Chain A
Amino acid sequence: MKPAPFAYHRPGSVADAVAALAGDAGAKVLAGGQSLVPLLSMRLAAPSALVDINGIPGLDTIEVDTASSGGGVRIGALARHADVLASEDVRRVQPLVSLALANVAHATIRNRGTTVGSLVHADAAAEMPVVLSLLGGSIDVEGPGGRRTIPADELYVGPLESSVHHDELAVSAFFPALAPGAGVAFEEIARRHGDYALVGVAALVDGDSVRAGFLSVSDVPTVVDLTGVADDDLGDAALEHLEPAGGIHSDIHATAAYRAQLVRVLTRRVVLAARVSRQARQPKGVAR
């Protein structure tokens, strides 16, 4: 199928983009379009206008700040997944971003899709929203009233729904740096490599703290605190948190029971891998 007609704006600045969004309540932002264009073609979405930000200079930045506190990775709205994944700086400062990005669709999709676009698309089956949530990152948005920062735990409000207002443009995302001595890991199970995950798990181990983020399990990216849980109980402890929090869903791809089994197996595996990665980082921790 083909998209329904829409008006097209190609602003040359963030201010013009915000003005175009503010002028049409049915307008949507087009960045990489790798999630949006299929929705248009299947006519699951029919915005009255698209505001194409691909012509705005200066939004394709990937910056790392290695300050001992408050450091991290800041990714501009037009940075493509492939460029973020290729950045050795990003891998060094926050390896979980790189680990998860390698699982985002196929290389060809990553060449066009943007990391910030994926974050504000707010798909609970996507990798990057759960990574932002687990790491306690944030996004910066610009609207008619100026710029504001939305922390990850206030960003995701429902399925494919974020707290970004329709007249705001997400201009960048911030992923905090991995603390010295902390460890991360990521793994997902998909029917075919590059498909949406049936279940994916990210883990962050820092001191005594153990936390895990889950994608494709609930309607929103979900983070669970597993601090103090014995290794053999990690999977069951995660399920205890996830099942009341909206429930694990069944769909055409997997039953809830199968997803629960994947949660059980992957949680333990990924937390243990995060511990191993922490040990691997320790000897050269000072080099950062």
Chain B
Amino acid sequence: MTEERHTVRLHVNGHVYDAAVPARRLLSDALRHDLGLTGTHVGCEHGVCGACTVLLDGRPVRSCLILAVSVDGQEVTTVEGLTNEDGSLGPVQQAFLECHGLQCGFCTPGFLTTITAGLRDNPTPTHEEARDMIAGNLCRCTGYQNIVKAVERASVLQRAQRAKDATVVEEGAHRPSRDQVTEAGT
């Protein structure tokens, strides 16, 4: 018996993917096997370890606890979607690099997605809040100390980036208005 397949449209990291998957396909497996996005790692596959965490419509979820058919049409952000637009490391990734927040790296994609959403909701976490932010993710290498440091470092990097972006936006907003003036003058 061939298993019935369902067409699913997933918006992953800004790209649209269509896949034909059996109903039992986990989102984690759909991302890895059907879409080829192997950055999402599968550890325990029952919701304990957090390695497979992705953002679903912006919120962290366990992709191993969700059926791909159930999220048809929704937005998914995986670790591949956390880099800056120019391809350089995003603030959370950069912070992990600087703070030595990973060793083997298996759990890292889940930490990066979780912290990205955590810092969006709480851009300036206290030390306790930084610890709480990652309470649902397991790491067997680092002992967590450097991951907590990375959360705090990412917060600093992100604020610096935002301040820089705000300056650029301000300049950008100013420039077209000058152009408009010129255009109006000609």
Contact = CB atoms under 8 A, between A and B. Distances in A.
Interface of A: 1-8, 10, 30, 33-34, 37-38, 40-42, 50, 52, 54, 82, 105-109, 111-112, 193-194
B24 A108 contact: no
A33 B46 contact: no
Given A34-B47, A82-B59, A5 B136 contact: no
A6 B66 CA distance: 15
Contacts of A109: 47, 62, 65, 136
B59 A54 contact: no
A206 to B, nearest CB: 32
A194 to B, nearest CB: 6
Given A1-B45, A33-B65, A106-B135, A112 B24 contact: no
In terms of DSSP, what is the predominant structure of the interface of chain B?
mixed
Of B53, B56, B64, B69, the most chain A CB neighbours within 10 A belong to B69
Interface size band for B: 20 to 34
Interface of B: 3-4, 6, 22-24, 26, 29, 45-47, 50, 53, 56, 59-62, 64-67, 69-70, 114, 135-136
Given A5-B22, A8-B4, A8-B6, 15 more contacts: A3-B24, A6-B23, A8-B67, A33-B66, A38-B46, A106-B135, A107-B60, A108-B60, A108-B61, A108-B114, A109-B62, A109-B136, A111-B59, A111-B60, A111-B61
B50 to A, nearest CB: 7
Contacts of B24: 2-6, 40
Contact of A5 (B3, B53, B60, B70): B3
Given A3-B24, A8-B6, A42-B46, A107 B69 contact: no
